[in-house]
Amino acid sequence: MKVAYLGPKGTFSEEAALRYFSTSASETIMYSTIFDVLEAVDEGEVDKGIVPIENAIEGTITMTTDGLVNYNVWIEGEAVLPVRLHLLTVKGARLEDIKEIWSIPPALAQCRIFTKEMKAQTKHFSSTSRAAEALGQSGRMDAGAVASELAAEIFGLDIAKRDIHDNNCNSTRFLVLSKTPNGNIHETDKSMLLITPTEDRPGLLAIILNVFSSLNINLSWIESRPTKKKLGTYRFFIEAALGVHDANLKKAVTILEAYGHEVRVLGSYKTTKL
């Protein structure tokens, strides 16, 4: 089984892929962008894909939501990965000698207290693993990289200081994708809908939400994205705490369509904690 993930190697996306598919005879394949992962699943180049959808601190990954609009894929699973950030150094470097810290801007922002205490300058890279790779290639004893334990293993670096993030509750939510529904959807307990209103009107979102409220359907996530057709018009991603097989969810979809809204079921799944 071929599994697509967002590269480069050593990212949290690769870690999520390796953990989620650890019991499967699978081959992980790296892609450069989230769109590339979605396209690979849509066109049948791979059997599965895994992409980040939300970070507990940084919020929604809008490239993923926008990609779900444009590619015909099915969400069959959800995986939650705890994000642990460490300071990596080349072998033999001393923590007290570190004057510069490299990483992606969001990771550096999540380690602001530590970098301030270190009185170190920061340098931006395109990903945590790119920073780790560059550090290993440079051999610098006065620089460190904020990245994962997996990145340390891949690029042969030491972990000079573990868990340097400001917030211990940080985690990233990933979606597991396939081309078509498979498995037993009657065992799922969450579903994601994409609702595109056909007309703009006062109280539009309230009307949509009232449909779920009236049927006693709990919503665990709501995200609006521009339709890109006209300024001020939006489509809504809504995650319901019911499987797609549930009678009340089916009724909600029917009512929304009767109101004239376009409703697309993007997937039905259970949550796996990694």
Model confidence over 9-35: pLDDT tens digits? 888 999 999 999 986 678 999 999 999
Residues 6+ apart with CB under 8 A from 67: 34, 35, 38, 51
Burial of 208 (0-12, 13-18, 19+ CB in 10 A): buried
**Burial class, 204, CB count within 10 angstroms (exposed 0-12 / middle 13-18 / buried 19+):** middle
The C-alpha atoms of residue 139 and residue 216 are separated, in whole angstroms, by: 58
Query: Using an 8 Å Cβ cutoff, are 270 and 187 in contact?
Result: yes
Residue 241: exposure state from Cβ atoms within 10 A (0-12, 13-18, ≥19)? middle
- The whole-chain average pLDDT of the chain stands at 93
Average pLDDT over residues 231-259: 94
Residue 180: pLDDT above 80? yes
Cα–Cα distance, 2 to 16 (Å, whole number): 15
Is the predicted pLDDT of residue 219 greater than 80, yes or no?
yes
184: pLDDT strictly greater than 80: no
φ/ψ (deg, to 5) at 12: -65, -25
pLDDT (0 to 100) of residue 266: 97
* DSSP code for 47: S
232 confidence band (pLDDT: 50, 70, 90): confident
- 143-156 average pLDDT score: 95
